[in-house]
Amino acid sequence: MHSFAITAPDRGMENSLKHKVDRKTKPPGSLGQLEALAVRIGLIQQTLTPSLDRPQMLVFAGDHGAAKAGVSAYPQDVTWQMVENFLAGGAAINVFARQNGLGLSVVDAGVAHDFGGPREGLIDLKVAPGTANYLESPAMTAAQCAQAIEQGAGVVFGLAAAGCKVVGFGEMGIGNTASASLITHCLTAVPLADCVGRGTGLDDAGLARKQALLELALTRYRNAGGADDAFAVLAEFGGFEIATMVGAMLAAAEAKMVLLIDGFIVGSAALVAARLAPALLDYCVFCHRSVEPGHRAQLQALRAEPLLDLGLRLGEGTGAALAFPLVQAAVAFLNEMASFESAGVAG
C-alpha cells in the first residue's frame, strides 16, 4: 500500500500570519474562529495570501452487507437510487455545491448496482458490489481495504495535479452510520451505546435492534482477538466508501490541501486517517457538529471545534458544502481587509 508522506505544516510562518490577522482594522480576536481558520489555511499553504482554487466535493458511495440485517430504516436500494439523484443534480449536496461554487463528483467505491458504463460525474472505483456482513465475518479483506485506500488516494492526487486546493468529503451508503458507530467505539473507547444513533430515522425499537446487532458484531470481533488497530477496525466494520475516503484524505493531506470534514460518517474516516497519520489533522477543517451522538465522541477524540452546529444529520457532505462560505470568508478577510496602517486607522 502507498506509504503516505504527511508532515505537519512548518509553523515558521505562524507569527507572521497572526500578526497580519491582528493588524486588520478590527479589535484583536473579534472575528473569533475565523481568525484561527485564516491562520490554519495560511499555514497549510505556507503563504500570507492563501487561495481556495478549484474547490471540489467528493461523495463516496458504497453498500454494506449488514444493511440487509436491518441496521437501517431504509432499504439498500436507496444507495444506488441516491447516486442516480446525485448524477441528475437533484440532491441536497448538489444544491449546496452549486450555490457555493463547489465542483462535485460521485465515487462508486462499492455500490451493489451496475451504473452502465462511464457516466458524467461518476468515478468508478468499485472494489466489490458491497461489503460482507460484519455480523458474520469481516466486512472486507485486508487486500480489499488496501485497494480502496489506494484508489481513493489516486483520485485526490489527480485533483491536486489539476490545481485543486480544497477537497470536501461526503458519503452515501445505507447502513453506514452503523459502521461509523463501531469504528468510533473501537478508536475512541467511548461506550458503544454512546456511539449509536438513529441514522436515517430509526424509531425506538429500531434503535434498540441496531444497538443489539452492533453489540453482536463487536462481540464476534473481540472473540476472534480483534484489536483496536485503525486499519484492522476499518477492514472489519467499514464500508468501501469509508475506506476509499480514508485514502482520499491521506492523499489530500500529503498534497497539502484543505480538507473539509463533514459529519459522523466522514468523521469516522477522519478518525481512521488521523490514527494512521496524526499530522493529517493540521489540514482538516471540521465543518459541523452532527446530531448523531457518536459524532461528539469523534470531535472530542480529535480535539476538533466545528464551524457550524445546525442539527444536521443528512450526510452527503452537506455540512461541508454549507461551511465552505465561512472558509472563503476567512481567506477573504486575510487577503482583502485593510490593516490599521493601510487604512490610516489608529490601532
**Residues 70-79: pLDDT tens digits?**
788 899 999 9
Answer yes or no: 236 catalytic.
no
Three-class SS of the chain: CCCCCCCCCCHHHHHHHHHHHHCECCCCCCCCHHHHHHHHHHHHHCCCCCCCCCCEEEEEEECCHHHHHCCCCCCCHHHHHHHHHHHHCCCHHHHHHHHCCCEEEEEEEECCCCCCCCCCCEEECCCCCCCCCCCCCCCCCHHHHHHHHHHHHHHHHHHHHCCCCEEEEEEECCCHHHHHHHHHHHHHCCCHHHCCCCCCCCCHHHHHHHHHHHHHHHHHHHHCCCCCCHHHHHHHHCCHHHHHHHHHHHHHHHCCCEEEECCHHHHHHHHHHHHHCHHHHHHEEECECCCCHHHHHHHHHCCCCCCECCCCCCCCCHHHHHHHHHHHHHHHHHHHCCEHHHHCCCC
pLDDT in tens, 154-167: 999 999 999 999 99
pLDDT digits 0-9 by tens, 313-338: 999 999 999 999 999 999 999 999 99
Which member of 171, 254, 292, 316 is catalytic? 316
Question: What pLDDT tens digit does each residue of the chain (347 aa) get?
Answer: 678 999 999 999 999 999 999 999 999 999 999 999 999 999 999 999 999 999 999 999 999 999 988 788 899 999 999 999 999 999 999 999 999 999 999 999 999 999 998 999 999 999 999 999 999 999 999 999 999 999 999 999 999 999 999 999 999 999 999 999 999 999 999 999 999 999 888 999 999 999 999 999 999 999 999 989 999 999 999 999 999 999 999 999 999 999 999 999 999 999 999 999 999 999 999 999 999 999 999 999 999 999 999 999 999 999 999 999 999 999 999 999 999 999 999 98
